[in-house]
Chains A and B, each alone.
Chain A
Amino acid sequence: MSLLGRHDKIVLAHGGGGQLSDSLIRQQILPRIGGSDSPLYDAGSIELWGGRIYISTDSYVVKPLVFPGGDIGKLAVCGTVNDLAVSGARPVAMSLALIMAEGLPMDLLELILDSIGRTASENNVAIITGDTKTVEAGSADGLFINTTGIGLGRPGVDLGFSRILTGDLILITGTIGEHGMTILSQRQDIGFQSVLTSDCASVLGLIDEVLAFGGSRVKFMRDPTRGGLAATVCEIAAGCGQCIEIWEDQIPVQPAVRTAAEMLGLDVLNLANEGKVVMVVDPAWADECVKLCRAHPLGRNAAIIGSVKEATGVPVVEMKTRIGGRRIVQMPYGTDLPRIC
């Protein structure tokens, strides 16, 4: 029997990007659609006409539709652009599907569509096809969006779990947890709203810079969205079959996010990000990569936060804590729930 047990019904945590999402994909979805056991990346790719074509799709169901730092439209474009970018692809075109609930205010829809148009244009991505559907009031929380992006591989760039070696360093491009904590505070009305802003942004420009100089010295990239940094480093450890050690005192966190997380009993490592990248890089080039990131507006707080260690058994992620203790970092279960006292 699976450790996750059998769920008779879908629960919210199945969409949390943690263990439960992973088990749904591997146990229910992939075997039924002819999917393989090979590693799962943010974008899939196929060899076509002498080049590598990348495809990524994502659906956006964020609530509220507009939040400090962004809105569902900006998120829907940035999210798919980011998934292609961290796969090493240059996004070229995108589809846009809107599922709108009866009663969605037209003004709000227009505001979101303007945001979509602006963000796509900033990223040089053409929206070349789309779809609209409406559903009864109450069945889609106002608006759901799906975007599917197509990108082209870059010559000289080769990213994948298999390229990760013992001694490689782990880098994050900035402070963690802002998106997750912003959305949670908006939903829960917990009084942190004034100081929290989502980091929602396209990381394409930052990745362009890093790949242009780093080339094959960049081994792997992933954007730590749902499940946060914890999920991403756990996926990297499992994907490459090696242990990872991260250093708590090196992980950048805004004080407001840390305080809010502590008050709610949440682990900042599990909070979602929408404008950050975790990179695994050649140790000889890591300092250079940090400098490169810090020169970009989205990478000012970039830092080396850990390293790849040889696995002595099961590949695990271990964190050296701020006070010098050690603990295991686990794949989050689903979505974290605020706790009492």
Chain B
Amino acid sequence: MGPGRDHISLADIGQALRQIRSACCRIQRPIRIMEVCGTHTVAIYRHGIRQMLPKEVQLISGPGCPVCVTEDAYIDLALELASKTDVLIATYGDMVRVPGRGGSLERCQPAGKVQVVLSADDVLALARSNPDRIVVFLAVGFETTAPATAVILQEAIESDIQNLCILCGHKLVVPAMKALIDGRNTLIDGFLCPGHVSVIIGSNAFRQIVDVYQRPCVVAGFEPLQIMAGLAEICTMLAEGRAGLGSVYRAAVTPDGNIHAQQLMARYLQVVPARWRGLGLIPQSGLAIRAEFGRFDAVQRFGLAWPDHRESPGCRCGEVLSGLIWPDQCPLFGDPCTPQSPIGPCMVSSEGSCAALYKYGRHVR
């Protein structure tokens, strides 16, 4: 799993748990910590971490699942593109089941029309091996996947690959965190910040959350010990009444992040307002292809228009993403909204907070 992987030490986990319990004793009220990243959400469920914590510590799953926050208008555009005979769709795996208004790529498309890719290389190879078709890459994700999109653009320009374009739906993590604190009646005491994203943007990116909003932020990897240690550090800061910036993922995360990746993104992509499924329009929270590379923008190339925005009726994913309700407080949770027939975005991805609760924790809460 790359750098920062720990061997699990049960003693260290026990130590972190003692630290959390001791902080709880001092704080004497419920502590609400948001794990921003969907990969954290899944790891917390997979390892059964929630059940190990004192009942005062509540973990709230944040907006950190890129698929969850992709609006249905994006999926509908992808479906429209997929319906064109000369188009081949290249997508990350978990986009395949995301429902738009007109269905999902899985349900609507014949096999072979939609290719699951894992990297920039896969996308470029697909374009090179299908010269008679136009490969449309569904570029979604946070700062973790955005550099790959920049690499695709760079390579497509340098090698003059003409049968490749991008439907850009990238999102930025920190503006969403700010929007969660700013605009809503949120009860979040601190943030467990995503390791993968932080490798790119650096831990200092969370500094403004700490300084301006006075919420502790700790960057952690995805091993159970790192998660537990991150939670312990947040609880300790809260007990001491201070907001600090911490990292328990120092092996991979530097304060300034990956400058090369940041420069690459800045060269090909520009920051724009973006619509998040469930959260609405958030200023400066998305990435679009820079105007000078507009020929690689699928919307421009095919002369498409973004469909009107609309949320699914009854779906309370917005409140789930804001940490205002638990997934199973939504009246649609479990019936009719399930991982097999998802209505809202949080049920779609294996990282989605609703899907994670449905899969791993239905009996707990």
Q: How many residues of B contact A (CB 8 A)?
A: 52
On whether the beta carbons of B107 and A9 are closer than 8 Å, the reply is yes
Complex Cα distance, B106 from A323, in Å, reads 36
In chain A between 1 and 28, which residues have their CB closer than 8 angstroms to a CB of chain B?
1, 3-5, 7-9, 11-13, 19-20
**Closest B residue, CB atoms, query A4:** B340
Q: Which residue in A12, A190, A318, A341 is a CB contact (below 8 Å) of B196? A: A341
**Within 8 Å of chain A (Cβ to Cβ): is B52?**
yes
Q: Name which of A35-43, A123-131, A221-229, A327-335 contacts chain B.
A: A327-335
Closest 9 CB pairs of A and B: A325-B48, A337-B93, A5-B341, A341-B144, A340-B92, A338-B93, A321-B48, A327-B360, A327-B48
How far, in Å, is A132 (CB) from chain B's closest CB?
25
Task: Kindly state the interface size class of chain A when it binds its partner.
Answer: 35 or more
| Residue with the highest number of chain A CB atoms closer than 10 Å, among B197, B338, B361 | B338
On whether the beta carbons of B349 and A339 are closer than 8 Å, the reply is yes
By a CB distance below 8 angstroms, the chain A residues around B49 are 323, 325
Contact mask for chain B residues 78-96; partner A; CB cutoff 8 A; 1 contact, 0 none: 0000000000000011101
On whether the beta carbons of B52 and A325 are closer than 8 Å, the reply is yes
Q: Which residue in A1, A189, A262, A327 is a CB contact (below 8 Å) of B336? A: A1
On whether the beta carbons of A324 and B116 are closer than 8 Å, the reply is no
Complex Cα distance, B137 from A251, in Å, reads 38
By a CB distance below 8 angstroms, the chain A residues around B42 are 265
On whether the beta carbons of A263 and B1 are closer than 8 Å, the reply is yes
**Closest B residue, CB atoms, query A9:** B107
On whether the beta carbons of B340 and A324 are closer than 8 Å, the reply is no
**Closest A residue, CB atoms, query B46:** A327
Q: Sample 20 A-B pairs with CB under 8 A, ordered by A number.
A: A4-B338, A12-B106, A19-B340, A189-B122, A190-B118, A265-B42, A265-B350, A316-B363, A321-B48, A323-B48, A325-B47, A326-B48, A327-B51, A327-B360, A328-B360, A337-B350, A338-B118, A341-B39, A341-B66, A341-B142
Knowing A3-B340, A7-B107, A339-B351, say if A324 contacts B52 (CB, 8 Å): yes
On whether the beta carbons of B335 and A323 are closer than 8 Å, the reply is no
On whether the beta carbons of B39 and A265 are closer than 8 Å, the reply is yes
Seen from chain B, the residues whose Cβ lies within 8 Å of a Cβ on chain A are 1-2, 8, 10, 13, 39, 42, 45-52, 66-67, 92-94, 96-97, 106-107, 111, 116, 118, 122, 140-142, 144-145, 196-197, 224-225, 228, 335-336, 338-341, 349-351, 359-363
Complex Cα distance, B122 from A189, in Å, reads 9
**Closest A residue, CB atoms, query B355:** A333
Complex Cα distance, B115 from A12, in Å, reads 13
Complex Cα distance, B93 from A336, in Å, reads 9
How far, in Å, is A10 (CB) from chain B's closest CB?
10
On whether the beta carbons of B340 and A321 are closer than 8 Å, the reply is no
On whether the beta carbons of B339 and A333 are closer than 8 Å, the reply is yes
Q: Which residue in A188, A330, A339 is a CB contact (below 8 Å) of B94? A: A339
How far, in Å, is A273 (CB) from chain B's closest CB?
20
Knowing A265-B39, A338-B116, say if A323 contacts B340 (CB, 8 Å): no
By a CB distance below 8 angstroms, the chain B residues around A189 are 122
**Closest A residue, CB atoms, query B194:** A341
**Within 8 Å of chain B (Cβ to Cβ): is A310?**
no
On whether the beta carbons of A328 and B144 are closer than 8 Å, the reply is no
By a CB distance below 8 angstroms, the chain B residues around A19 are 340
Knowing A4-B340, A19-B340, A188-B118, say if A337 contacts B97 (CB, 8 Å): yes
**Closest B residue, CB atoms, query A337:** B93
Complex Cα distance, B93 from A37, in Å, reads 35
How far, in Å, is B41 (CB) from chain A's closest CB?
12
On whether the beta carbons of A328 and B52 are closer than 8 Å, the reply is no
By a CB distance below 8 angstroms, the chain B residues around A316 are 363
Given contacts A12-B106, A265-B350, 7 further A-B pairs with CB under 8 A are: A1-B336, A4-B341, A325-B50, A325-B51, A340-B140, A341-B196, A341-B197
Knowing A13-B106, A259-B1, A263-B1, say if A337 contacts B94 (CB, 8 Å): yes
By a CB distance below 8 angstroms, the chain B residues around A114 are none
Complex Cα distance, B141 from A19, in Å, reads 28
**Closest B residue, CB atoms, query A1:** B336
By a CB distance below 8 angstroms, the chain B residues around A337 are 93-94, 96-97, 116, 350
Knowing A321-B46, A323-B47, A341-B196, say if A11 contacts B107 (CB, 8 Å): yes
By a CB distance below 8 angstroms, the chain A residues around B349 are 339
**Within 8 Å of chain B (Cβ to Cβ): is A267?**
yes
**Within 8 Å of chain B (Cβ to Cβ): is A322?**
yes
How far, in Å, is A52 (CB) from chain B's closest CB?
37
Complex Cα distance, B342 from A5, in Å, reads 9
**Closest A residue, CB atoms, query B1:** A262
Complex Cα distance, B22 from A118, in Å, reads 65
By a CB distance below 8 angstroms, the chain B residues around A9 are 107
**Closest B residue, CB atoms, query A269:** B46
On whether the beta carbons of B106 and A11 are closer than 8 Å, the reply is yes
